Structure 1
């Protein structure tokens, strides 16, 4: 998979999100900024993002995804 393909999957599942994905083709890191994370526990934030790529992980197309979730207020300056 390409980084942009992973980013598009996340954006499709979280349409308001700002998504930045880096990686090497099998291991990826995503930084996701969304109002949807407000008030959620860290595990619920992770699950929201993982749900957007569940099919690709199950098929082995996406091997590993490290996720950093932020609300817009938590975004670095």
Structure 2
């Protein structure tokens, strides 16, 4: 009985591990094979460059919004 339970527990764990590997590796199999063949990987994912561009856009929008403030909005800020 203990042997059957051990086989079921470790078999389930092994199955889950193989499933996790398959789910994470198979969608990228073509890119992995291309890199192993010596070709360059295509479509690099670069989240930092995207973040830098977004931060610059935000900074420009804030600067542009600040430069177009009217006197009324400035007076209302001073009064508050």
Scaled to the shorter chain, the TM-score interval is under 0.3
Structure with greater helix percent:
2
TM-score computed with the length of structure 2 as normaliser: 0.25
Q: Which has the higher contact order (CA 8 A, sep 6+)?
A: 1
Structure with greater strand percent:
1
Higher Cα radius of gyration: 2
